Chains A and B, each alone.
Chain A
């Protein structure tokens, strides 16, 4: 019972009170859509009248496209995918600081009142789930609005030209209507990323844990390997679009394993940690 009451407290203080952050996320996704339209314009300049209005599937793929596999070439230095990186850095920022600050502030009273450190921890895990859910809900709302303005179809089918517009590379298969694995994997892997960061923020404090998140996302974009979570967050590397792309099953297993490890390790950590500092520096 206490778990739900703490969760209600968290939803009020860690989500509702931070509505401005979600407004900023909405503004960011507007820019993301603008980038997609800019990519279409550039494509149309080369291949006139070959691209019609986007579908909802196109917009989703565009917002989370990432980059195709990077192969080192001295004449082509690595250029990190800023749009993709920022998308997930924002999701990670949303879920970074509140739990730690809460535990060292008013959360102390909640933990004692709830008689359970574990309850507090589970409530924070569910809060991450809710925050990520809202993040994607905001994204979905902005994409739908953009689609309305663009006059596109509300279907999850991806237009055959879209992978070309987004420069997914030569190995594009183009499977219209097949982005469901990606739609499941995106929130799942984001939750895994944020829960891992949440656990690390308790162990090494929030700022270093954010550095780890930036590094993980960067390395994921640099190396195409099934062991780096960020690879599953890119449409451009998904098996939905390219041969030899990142598979749904592997992604789900990795994300699931990270979620379990983070929750279990975090639970063990919270159970033994001393709640001492009133407020940490960073």
Chain B
């Protein structure tokens, strides 16, 4: 459960987030929608603990980010596109990052790569990947350790139709597993289908909150 309480952020005199209030429960998909520069990515960065809010606070399971904890204890994210080491394969890249927490072993990492439609035994280096493959690997990184919080910022970027379908499946699985999934996406149809609730951002402010269609889809399923 994530609670965002009156979070604001000012960078070099420009207010990029303004009094954001939101509640992102576990086992739910919360969507963020808005035009370019509306503050979606910045909010994701705040939730990941990468940037410090100028005011307000973010509570992760009751613990205040930047006060009680430096980062969410169990989180996977894809923010601003994937960032990996170009000279390693996809599997090597994920294994290296997994070695820090040791929460996911080889089996889980391989499974995560397969979930996004990539081949874990692909010997090509990351720099040889296409944009879509890079994006898929980024999604695999976000979910490989079965984190409590999954942040996906524009995950459909560069994905083909199959990729989008796979992504939708992954998001639903993560929701069903009980993770708090936070999604920002330009494709409003995808966002509508996947989210339980959607926050609309404009110039760094939440201007509207609406229900999404994920609950109905889950019931139908």
Contact = CB atoms under 8 A, between A and B. Distances in A.
Interface of A: 2, 5-6, 8-9, 12-13, 17, 104-106, 108-118, 272, 274-276, 278
A115 B70 contact: yes
Contacts of A274: 11, 45, 50-52
**Which of A6, A105, A106, A272 neighbours the largest number of chain B CB atoms within 10 Å of its CB?**
A106
Contacts of A5: 99-100, 102
Among A104, A109, A111, A276: residue with most chain B CB under 10 A: A109
Interface stretch (B29-37, B71-79, B105-113): B71-79
B96 A112 contact: no
A13 B86 CA distance: 11
Interface in B43-58: 45, 48-52
A12 B101 CA distance: 17
A117 B83 contact: no
A275 B51 contact: yes
A115 B71 contact: yes
B83 A105 contact: yes
A106 B75 contact: no
A108 B82 CA distance: 11
16 contacts: A9-B100, A12-B96, A104-B83, A106-B93, A106-B97, A108-B83, A109-B97, A111-B71, A112-B49, A112-B75, A114-B100, A115-B73, A116-B71, A276-B51, A278-B81, A278-B83
A7 B52 CA distance: 25
B97 A13 contact: no
B interface residue count range (under 10 / 10 to 19 / 20 to 34 / 35 or more): 20 to 34
B97 A272 contact: no
B176 interface: no
A6 B100 contact: yes
B80 interface: yes
A13 B101 CA distance: 18
B150 interface: no
A108 B85 contact: no
Given A9-B96, A116-B71, A274-B51, 12 more contacts: A9-B99, A9-B100, A12-B96, A13-B85, A105-B83, A106-B97, A109-B77, A114-B101, A115-B70, A274-B45, A274-B50, A274-B52
Contacts of B77: 109, 112
B15 interface: no
Contacts of A8: 99
Contacts of A272: 52
A113 B94 CA distance: 12
Nearest to B101: A113
A97 B83 CA distance: 16
B69 interface: yes
